[in-house]
Structure 1
């Protein structure tokens, strides 16, 4: 897990962009940010994982991610999505300091309305234009979106169970920073728990509950992410990549990679990165 700093798009007080997923191996590991995020799936599929919750997006599906919620994503099918990331201070100002103090938003594929989708489609079309008046129209549309969210999708803080995860972000960040710094070493749940003075059984339950994945799953994802870049950017052998990324053997790397991506490291390199 890492904290993602959101930098607003030029000429806007928020970040807005369309991201394309050209292959089904796109993986964004667990992370969090103070900005809220709204995802609108334009084509393909996108899976978003929260602690103890998994949401799948298909074409025309919408998802709102509240501030400081740990989440990861993966694309099971190529496609593209519109993303709007709104800084917390901007949203607090727009809602007269009520967002985050009196309510959060709960918008999922199951309760998204045609009105919300129409606003997002309009924003998507406006992004292709570069005139000042079009940028002003986009800003107005985002305010309209916030108004629609506040009118129809606000939920009292007590009604959002996931907010408990945000309380543990400082602890989780220290643990995950340690994992990131030492993932090439022989790490175990017990050794990490003892490093932070946790009982291993408690630490295992705590980590799984608030990260949404087990300790071993997260450690493996950190190692796989490093292996991904080495497969893409180097001509190192599979053995070298496995050991350099923290896997104890080629077999353990092969099994983890195949389970995660559905193909072997050799097939992955040949399919996606052949020059």
Structure 2
């Protein structure tokens, strides 16, 4: 199950977390979350939707997007795809930029809006092609490519930051962490908007706007995504009935569960269970 704040463990030998994933034809949904690591998503095949800053971007084959530290984002796979993921620890980025990252500048890299250099494209294609290779030489080759990638970012993709705005963002993220931690612990219970707004001393109207502005989705949709993700786990790893899974996931009625699941996956829970087993 996903949480708002994700703790990423890097590969000790590479100093970063480098991996790929392939989504099937059904929609692979990752709810809004953030992490301290800088993340690059490179589309090897297919497409990937990324939502951040209340905007949605569609990555196609060959596209890449960088997500800066602590930026709330979500992803979903409209169809089968193959994605390379590079997650660079905050400490690594601070070291290679001599502490300039996230104090003086962040990075801007989004090929959907601005073509990237041929150097970065070659680096990403090489990493994608060598992702499964193991051994000392392969590991050193990947490490060199990752340092070359860092150099390209530092040289050509800096974006100056407003210190005051950054401090305000951190304050908001701390508030959101508490709110979503509560949702994570209580998503199986009744949770009307008015209840959670009152819990955190907001009016329902203000909380609704605050949540959508900072999470990029409504409270209702986020809560549904968390419940659907838990239901996915039960459908794949348990023998429970659809009714029991719907109730355990926080849905009052199985019809509501079916409608929500169909919306996010374009298939019924039963079909999802057959497809993932």
Same fold (TM over 0.5): yes
Structure-1 residue corresponding to 2:260: 256
Residue 14 of structure 2 corresponds to residue 46 of structure 1: no
Return the offset for 1:190.
Answer: 0.6
Q: Residue 228 of structure 1 is aligned with which of 229, 232, 235?
A: 232
Equivalent of 1:187 in 186, 191, 195: 191
Structure 1 residue 154: Cα displacement: 0.9
> In structure 1, what is the equivalent of residue 76 of structure 2?
74
Greater Cα shift, 205-214 or 113-122: 113-122
1:145 corresponds in structure 2 to 149
Q: Give a deviation string over 1:197-250, Cα, whole Å, max 9, x none.
A: 111111111000000010100111111111111111222222211111111111
User: Is the CA contact (8 Å cut-off) linking 2:20 and 2:131 kept in structure 1?
Assistant: no
Q: Which among 222, 247, 261 is matched to residue 218 of structure 1?
A: 222
Partner Cα separation in structure 1 for residue 35 and residue 47 of structure 2: 23
* Unaligned stretches of 5+ residues in structure 2: none
Within 1, Cα distance between the matches of 2:272 and 2:126? 38
Q: 1:130 to 1:261 in 2, by over 3 A?
A: closer
Distance 1:191 1:107, change over 3 A: same
1:237 to 238, 241, 262: 241
SS at match of 1:243: helix
Matched, 1:2 2:25: no
2:275 alignment partner in structure 1: 271
Distance in structure 2 (CA, Å) of the matches to 1:51 and 1:218: 15
Work out whether 1:17 is the aligned partner of 2:15.
Answer: no
The CA distance in 2 between the partners of 1:85 and 1:93, in whole Å, is: 15
User: Matched residue of 2:209: which SS?
Assistant: helix
Following TM superposition, by how much is the alpha carbon of 1:165 offset from its aligned partner in structure 2, in angstroms? 4.6
> 1:130 Cα shift?
2.9
* Contact in 2 for aligned 1:243/1:250 (Cα 8 Å): yes
CA distance in 2: counterparts of 1:252 and 1:72, whole angstroms? 23
Q: Does the Cα contact within 8 Å between 1:70 and 1:165 map onto a contact in 2?
A: no
Moved more, 227-236 or 123-132: 123-132
Q: Structure 1 residues 171, 92: closer, same or farther in 2, change over 3 A? A: same
Where do residues 77-226 of structure 1 align in structure 2 (5 Å cutoff)? 77-109=79-111, 110-111=113-114, 112-158=116-162, 165-226=169-230
Cα 1:114–1:162 shift into 2, 3 Å: farther
Alpha-carbon shift at residue 127 of structure 1 (Å): 3.4
Distance 1:41 1:136 in 2: 24
Q: What TM-score comes out, normalization by structure 2 length?
A: 0.91
Q: Distance in 1 between matches of 2:72 and 2:206?
A: 20
Classify the secondary structure of the residue corresponding to 1:228. Answer: helix
Q: Which moved more, 1:119-128 or 1:30-39?
A: 119-128
TM-score by length of 1: 0.92
Root-mean-square deviation over aligned CA pairs: 2.0
Deviations 1:130-153 (A, max 9, x none): 342332232221111111112221
| Shift in Å, 1:91 | 0.8
SS state at 1:37 partner? strand
Residues 69, 166 of structure 1: 8 Å contact kept: no
